[in-house]
Chains A and B, each alone.
Chain A
């Protein structure tokens, strides 16, 4: 199929020393050749070669960049189309400039995921792979990568397959009662349907519960650090990311705007947000910061409250405790290298079931315990950490939710005394929806099951 030629920056903005502008489509090579000056035009280069040269802005005839250009001719490319990758020195400005040139000369800016969409439309990959790859593209942490990988490899599929088989056996049983009414198979009763339906609903529920985790794994658990000024919030962020990302000074009120960083803490991806210290203040700038911190607490999925062990608990500290009540939160009592002036027993009492961790971020102590506490909060309960078959794709979540609804409706119908074959309509629907998650076709499987499970004949 012939599509137009698209282009996009393919390395994450600002990261790495080299930036790549990638083109895909029938005009990739001609467009690149309009800009490229090297030993030979790219049109003459063999496929899958890297060519050294310069990029010229044809409008002003001026050299823009020193580049390495990969020539990749279809169909042995990611999209199965002709592709060109222009490697240039990093830096947002230079990469952007190259992209701009390419766009001015006939390419169209790709939409997010459009390369993968082409790979799919050109038959390179199938739908569920495409979705997995889309998630891979968006994967922000190492763990999320694993989820995406697993999905491609079908861990989730296995679980759903099992669930479907159970439904199928039930449906086949109802069918045999309908199609072979005098056959001596036991009648499937509403009672049995209700029990089976209940079990299946629970299974779907369990899968859906992992959906929340799956989403977090993909997008990161938004984690807000709050505390009074100067207690060590920015130090906490730095020590979790093992890098000096936020400015740390001994001047209270250093952090004025929100600082955002991604980090993977023992398998839990965090989207860390360092905030301005919270205190009642007349200073207008700070006042806004405080308001924002309060709002962030509301949005955060995890709140890290930092207090200073070197000072007695203040009214503000207690206000923060109140603010985070009912949230997933961890209390960090920092600066325990200094003299102990806080009433720790009282802190623990106020904290209730929120874990309390004592640290010295200056001396890098207590960070292990803190990381462990974060992991514990995330992977608590019935989460199976081992198989990692999280549902993380929104289409799958929607389908599972529908499947659950279908089972619910079947149960309600059974409750109301609807005939078995009507109740079964929704069970079959659930089975079909689950099939859609893994891209299975309905086909003959029910009929196969019918004749495998029961001995029918004349």
Chain B
């Protein structure tokens, strides 16, 4: 079946199987920043924004997204340069192997557009579905609070 999805501000017409998941579709289209890990809605590595809200692409049917807007990690950095959130994650030691980072950044962007001045607890609550096996979360939380503060001061 044929679907139309706006991906990172660009309309795309895509041939897809009726049972295909958005994660698979995006990776086939070369959005490789969207990571494939648990496939059971449990880790957050495959997070993308659907109409501005973070969802899990591993358990979203591509057919259900027809006519909607998807934003992947590739849509958050300008011209191959890192975004402020990505820079803060590196500066604070919030990225080690890096596998969880695309999903984390996409979810963080949604948090900061809903709530530009989150408390530490609000960051923890919002991101509890983005698991990281390396960092222990302290440095990631610190980085997000720092990026939020810098964004507010601009």
Q: Do A and B bind each other?
A: no
Chain B residues within 8 Å of A, Cβ to Cβ: none
